[in-house]
Copies of this chain bind each other. A is one copy, B any other.
Amino acid sequence: MKNQLSNNADQRTVFLVSDSTGITIEGMARALLSQFPIHFKQIIRRYIDTIEKADQTIAEIHVASKDEAELPLVLTSIVDPEVRQHMEKLNGVVIDLIAPLLPQMEAVLGVKAERVAGHSHSLHYARNYLQRIDAVHFAMEHDDGQGQRHYENADVILVGLSRCGKTPACLYLSMHYGLFAANYPLVESDLQRPEIPECLQRYRDRLFGLTIAAQRLHQIRQQRLPDTRYASRVQCEQEVRQLEALYRQWRLPNLDVTERSVEEIATAVLAHTKK
Protein backbone atom coordinates (compact mmCIF):
# COMPACT_ATOMS: atom_id res chain seq x y z
CA MET A 1 0.00 0.00 0.00
CA LYS A 2 1.95 2.95 -1.26
CA ASN A 3 0.33 5.53 0.96
CA GLN A 4 0.76 3.56 4.13
CA LEU A 5 4.43 2.96 3.47
CA SER A 6 5.12 6.54 2.55
CA ASN A 7 6.70 8.98 4.95
CA ASN A 8 4.43 11.36 6.74
CA ALA A 9 4.07 14.94 5.56
CA ASP A 10 6.83 16.17 7.88
CA GLN A 11 9.54 13.91 6.47
CA ARG A 12 10.97 13.80 2.99
CA THR A 13 13.89 12.05 1.35
CA VAL A 14 16.22 14.21 -0.73
CA PHE A 15 18.93 12.82 -2.96
CA LEU A 16 22.07 14.90 -3.49
CA VAL A 17 24.17 14.08 -6.55
CA SER A 18 27.57 15.71 -7.04
CA ASP A 19 30.19 15.29 -9.76
CA SER A 20 32.93 15.97 -7.23
CA THR A 21 33.33 15.79 -3.43
CA GLY A 22 29.72 16.70 -2.66
CA ILE A 23 30.87 19.28 -0.12
CA THR A 24 29.36 22.24 -1.96
CA ILE A 25 26.03 20.55 -2.51
CA GLU A 26 25.88 19.43 1.13
CA GLY A 27 26.32 23.05 2.18
CA MET A 28 23.79 24.35 -0.31
CA ALA A 29 21.27 21.67 0.56
CA ARG A 30 21.70 22.59 4.22
CA ALA A 31 21.17 26.28 3.43
CA LEU A 32 18.06 25.56 1.37
CA LEU A 33 16.44 22.73 3.28
CA SER A 34 16.91 24.31 6.71
CA GLN A 35 14.47 27.01 5.57
CA PHE A 36 11.61 24.46 5.53
CA PRO A 37 9.84 22.99 8.57
CA ILE A 38 10.35 19.47 7.27
CA HIS A 39 12.66 16.72 8.42
CA PHE A 40 14.75 15.71 5.42
CA LYS A 41 16.55 12.43 5.07
CA GLN A 42 19.54 13.12 2.82
CA ILE A 43 21.16 10.48 0.63
CA ILE A 44 24.28 11.62 -1.18
CA ARG A 45 26.19 10.25 -4.17
CA ARG A 46 29.63 11.76 -4.84
CA TYR A 47 31.90 11.73 -7.93
CA ILE A 48 29.04 11.11 -10.40
CA ASP A 49 30.86 12.47 -13.43
CA THR A 50 30.05 10.07 -16.28
CA ILE A 51 26.89 8.93 -18.08
CA GLU A 52 27.46 5.42 -16.71
CA LYS A 53 27.63 6.60 -13.10
CA ALA A 54 24.58 8.80 -13.67
CA ASP A 55 22.66 5.76 -14.97
CA GLN A 56 23.65 3.74 -11.93
CA THR A 57 22.62 6.59 -9.62
CA ILE A 58 19.24 6.92 -11.34
CA ALA A 59 18.64 3.19 -10.82
CA GLU A 60 19.64 3.47 -7.14
CA ILE A 61 17.31 6.42 -6.62
CA HIS A 62 14.39 4.61 -8.23
CA VAL A 63 14.96 1.62 -5.94
CA ALA A 64 15.42 3.76 -2.82
CA SER A 65 12.25 5.76 -3.46
CA LYS A 66 9.92 3.04 -4.71
CA ASP A 67 7.88 3.07 -1.50
CA GLU A 68 7.57 6.85 -1.28
CA ALA A 69 4.30 8.63 -1.99
CA GLU A 70 5.99 11.47 -3.86
CA LEU A 71 8.32 11.39 -6.81
CA PRO A 72 11.97 11.56 -5.72
CA LEU A 73 13.46 15.01 -5.17
CA VAL A 74 17.03 15.21 -6.46
CA LEU A 75 19.38 18.16 -6.04
CA THR A 76 22.42 18.08 -8.27
CA SER A 77 25.59 20.09 -8.85
CA ILE A 78 26.92 18.69 -12.09
CA VAL A 79 28.75 21.01 -14.45
CA ASP A 80 29.12 18.70 -17.48
CA PRO A 81 25.96 19.43 -19.51
CA GLU A 82 25.71 15.87 -20.90
CA VAL A 83 25.87 14.20 -17.50
CA ARG A 84 23.47 16.75 -16.03
CA GLN A 85 20.93 16.31 -18.81
CA HIS A 86 21.22 12.58 -18.39
CA MET A 87 20.19 12.88 -14.72
CA GLU A 88 16.97 14.47 -15.92
CA LYS A 89 15.89 11.12 -17.36
CA LEU A 90 15.06 10.20 -13.78
CA ASN A 91 11.37 9.93 -12.99
CA GLY A 92 11.29 12.69 -10.40
CA VAL A 93 12.12 16.33 -9.72
CA VAL A 94 15.73 17.21 -10.56
CA ILE A 95 16.97 20.65 -9.57
CA ASP A 96 20.51 21.69 -10.44
CA LEU A 97 21.96 24.23 -8.03
CA ILE A 98 24.99 25.46 -9.98
CA ALA A 99 24.30 25.32 -13.73
CA PRO A 100 21.47 27.92 -13.77
CA LEU A 101 23.90 30.46 -12.29
CA LEU A 102 26.53 30.05 -14.99
CA PRO A 103 24.85 32.05 -17.81
CA GLN A 104 24.41 35.00 -15.43
CA MET A 105 28.05 34.81 -14.41
CA GLU A 106 29.12 34.52 -18.06
CA ALA A 107 27.18 37.69 -18.86
CA VAL A 108 28.83 39.62 -16.03
CA LEU A 109 32.34 38.34 -16.67
CA GLY A 110 32.18 38.36 -20.46
CA VAL A 111 33.86 34.92 -20.58
CA LYS A 112 32.43 31.48 -21.30
CA ALA A 113 32.37 29.01 -18.39
CA GLU A 114 34.39 25.85 -18.98
CA ARG A 115 31.88 23.41 -17.47
CA VAL A 116 34.42 20.80 -16.39
CA ALA A 117 33.92 18.81 -13.17
CA GLY A 118 36.33 18.83 -10.24
CA HIS A 119 37.95 22.17 -11.02
CA SER A 120 37.09 23.76 -7.77
CA HIS A 121 39.17 21.63 -5.46
CA SER A 122 42.26 21.22 -7.54
CA LEU A 123 42.44 24.90 -8.47
CA HIS A 124 41.62 26.47 -5.17
CA TYR A 125 43.44 24.27 -2.75
CA ALA A 126 46.65 23.57 -4.59
CA ARG A 127 47.87 27.07 -3.87
CA ASN A 128 47.71 26.83 -0.11
CA TYR A 129 47.84 23.08 0.41
CA LEU A 130 51.16 23.08 2.24
CA GLN A 131 50.15 26.05 4.37
CA ARG A 132 47.01 24.25 5.47
CA ILE A 133 48.84 21.01 6.23
CA ASP A 134 51.42 22.90 8.26
CA ALA A 135 48.61 24.68 10.07
CA VAL A 136 46.92 21.36 10.91
CA HIS A 137 50.14 20.02 12.38
CA PHE A 138 50.62 23.28 14.30
CA ALA A 139 47.11 22.98 15.74
CA MET A 140 47.73 19.39 16.83
CA GLU A 141 51.07 20.24 18.40
CA HIS A 142 49.63 23.29 20.20
CA ASP A 143 46.46 21.71 21.50
CA ASP A 144 45.47 21.89 25.15
CA GLY A 145 48.34 24.07 26.35
CA GLN A 146 51.11 22.18 24.57
CA GLY A 147 54.02 23.78 22.75
CA GLN A 148 53.92 27.15 24.49
CA ARG A 149 57.44 27.98 23.36
CA HIS A 150 56.14 28.37 19.80
CA TYR A 151 53.25 30.71 20.65
CA GLU A 152 55.00 33.48 18.74
CA ASN A 153 54.07 31.61 15.56
CA ALA A 154 50.37 31.45 16.42
CA ASP A 155 47.86 33.61 14.57
CA VAL A 156 45.36 33.09 17.36
CA ILE A 157 45.32 31.40 20.78
CA LEU A 158 41.91 30.23 21.94
CA VAL A 159 41.38 30.10 25.68
CA GLY A 160 38.50 28.64 27.66
CA LEU A 161 37.41 25.90 30.04
CA SER A 162 38.06 22.23 29.46
CA ARG A 163 35.61 20.69 26.93
CA CYS A 164 34.16 23.93 25.63
CA GLY A 165 35.13 23.25 22.00
CA LYS A 166 38.59 24.80 21.65
CA THR A 167 40.19 21.82 19.94
CA PRO A 168 37.72 21.35 17.07
CA ALA A 169 37.63 25.11 16.47
CA CYS A 170 41.43 25.25 16.18
CA LEU A 171 41.50 22.27 13.83
CA TYR A 172 38.77 23.80 11.70
CA LEU A 173 40.62 27.13 11.47
CA SER A 174 43.81 25.38 10.46
CA MET A 175 42.33 22.95 7.96
CA HIS A 176 40.03 25.39 6.20
CA TYR A 177 41.79 28.71 6.51
CA GLY A 178 45.43 27.77 7.08
CA LEU A 179 45.43 29.70 10.35
CA PHE A 180 48.01 28.79 12.97
CA ALA A 181 45.69 28.26 15.93
CA ALA A 182 46.79 27.19 19.40
CA ASN A 183 44.59 26.63 22.41
CA TYR A 184 45.16 26.88 26.13
CA PRO A 185 42.77 25.50 28.77
CA LEU A 186 42.02 27.81 31.68
CA VAL A 187 42.09 25.42 34.64
CA GLU A 188 41.13 26.06 38.25
CA SER A 189 44.51 27.52 39.22
CA ASP A 190 44.26 30.00 36.31
CA LEU A 191 40.71 30.93 37.27
CA GLN A 192 41.69 31.76 40.82
CA ARG A 193 44.29 34.37 39.86
CA PRO A 194 43.36 37.82 38.60
CA GLU A 195 46.02 38.14 35.92
CA ILE A 196 46.36 36.51 32.51
CA PRO A 197 48.44 33.30 32.85
CA GLU A 198 52.08 34.17 32.50
CA CYS A 199 52.74 32.13 29.36
CA LEU A 200 50.00 34.09 27.57
CA GLN A 201 50.77 37.62 28.70
CA ARG A 202 53.08 38.44 25.79
CA TYR A 203 50.42 37.33 23.32
CA ARG A 204 47.32 39.05 24.64
CA ASP A 205 46.52 40.55 21.23
CA ARG A 206 46.14 37.04 19.86
CA LEU A 207 43.93 35.67 22.65
CA PHE A 208 40.28 34.90 21.99
CA GLY A 209 38.05 33.53 24.73
CA LEU A 210 35.32 30.91 24.47
CA THR A 211 32.58 30.68 27.04
CA ILE A 212 29.61 28.33 27.41
CA ALA A 213 26.45 27.92 29.48
CA ALA A 214 27.19 25.99 32.68
CA GLN A 215 24.35 23.53 32.02
CA ARG A 216 25.72 22.66 28.57
CA LEU A 217 29.26 22.27 29.91
CA HIS A 218 27.88 19.97 32.60
CA GLN A 219 26.17 17.82 29.94
CA ILE A 220 29.31 17.55 27.82
CA ARG A 221 31.56 16.71 30.78
CA GLN A 222 29.02 14.19 32.12
CA GLN A 223 29.33 12.30 28.88
CA ARG A 224 33.11 12.30 29.21
CA LEU A 225 33.60 11.62 32.93
CA PRO A 226 30.19 10.94 34.48
CA ASP A 227 29.50 11.75 38.12
CA THR A 228 32.84 13.34 38.88
CA ARG A 229 33.48 16.65 40.62
CA TYR A 230 34.87 17.88 37.27
CA ALA A 231 31.52 17.22 35.56
CA SER A 232 29.27 18.36 38.41
CA ARG A 233 26.76 21.12 37.89
CA VAL A 234 28.18 23.13 40.82
CA GLN A 235 31.73 22.90 39.52
CA CYS A 236 30.71 23.93 35.99
CA GLU A 237 28.72 26.89 37.31
CA GLN A 238 31.62 28.11 39.41
CA GLU A 239 34.16 27.77 36.60
CA VAL A 240 31.94 29.64 34.13
CA ARG A 241 31.30 32.44 36.65
CA GLN A 242 35.02 32.86 37.36
CA LEU A 243 35.89 32.64 33.66
CA GLU A 244 33.45 35.32 32.57
CA ALA A 245 34.63 37.65 35.34
CA LEU A 246 38.20 37.22 34.10
CA TYR A 247 37.24 37.88 30.48
CA ARG A 248 35.63 41.17 31.57
CA GLN A 249 38.65 42.07 33.67
CA TRP A 250 41.12 41.19 30.91
CA ARG A 251 38.88 42.90 28.29
CA LEU A 252 39.20 39.77 26.18
CA PRO A 253 37.11 39.39 23.01
CA ASN A 254 35.01 36.29 23.57
CA LEU A 255 32.17 34.19 22.23
CA ASP A 256 29.44 32.13 23.87
CA VAL A 257 29.62 28.78 22.08
CA THR A 258 26.58 27.17 23.73
CA GLU A 259 24.34 27.19 20.67
CA ARG A 260 27.09 27.25 18.08
CA SER A 261 28.51 24.64 15.75
CA VAL A 262 32.24 24.20 15.20
CA GLU A 263 31.86 26.08 11.90
CA GLU A 264 30.19 29.02 13.60
CA ILE A 265 32.85 29.22 16.32
CA ALA A 266 35.69 29.02 13.80
CA THR A 267 34.26 31.63 11.44
CA ALA A 268 33.46 34.01 14.31
CA VAL A 269 37.10 33.78 15.43
CA LEU A 270 38.17 34.28 11.82
CA ALA A 271 35.98 37.37 11.43
CA HIS A 272 37.60 38.73 14.61
CA THR A 273 41.18 38.08 13.49
CA LYS A 274 40.36 39.69 10.10
CA LYS A 275 42.43 37.13 8.23
Chain A contacts to B: CB under 8 angstroms = 12, 20-24, 27-28, 30-38, 46-47, 73, 77, 79, 93, 95, 97-98, 100-102, 104-105, 108-109, 111, 113-116, 119-126, 129-130, 132-133, 136-137, 140, 143, 165, 167-168, 171-172, 175-176, 220, 223, 259-264, 266-268, 270-271
Contacts and interface: CB of A to CB of B under 8 A. Distances in A.
A119 B34 contact: yes
B268 A47 contact: yes
A30 B270 contact: no
A73 B108 contact: yes
Nearest to A71: B108
A223 B122 CA distance: 21
A165 B133 contact: yes
A24 to B, nearest CB: 4
Contact of A32 (B37, B38, B101, B263): B101
Contacts of A95: 101, 104-105, 108
B120 A30 contact: yes
Given A28-B98, A121-B261, A168-B133, A46 B270 contact: yes
A105 B40 CA distance: 13
Instruction: Summarize A's interface: helix, strand, loop or mixed.
Output: helix
A181 to B, nearest CB: 13
A24 B97 CA distance: 12
Of A47, A73, A143, A168, most buried by chain B (CB within 10 Å of CB) is A168
Contacts of A32: 98, 101-102, 105
Contacts of A130: 220, 223
Given A24-B28, A24-B31, A32-B105, 18 more contacts: A28-B98, A30-B120, A32-B98, A35-B114, A36-B109, A38-B109, A47-B267, A47-B268, A95-B105, A100-B100, A125-B261, A126-B261, A129-B262, A133-B220, A136-B171, A168-B175, A175-B175, A175-B262
Of A38, A100, A120, most buried by chain B (CB within 10 Å of CB) is A120
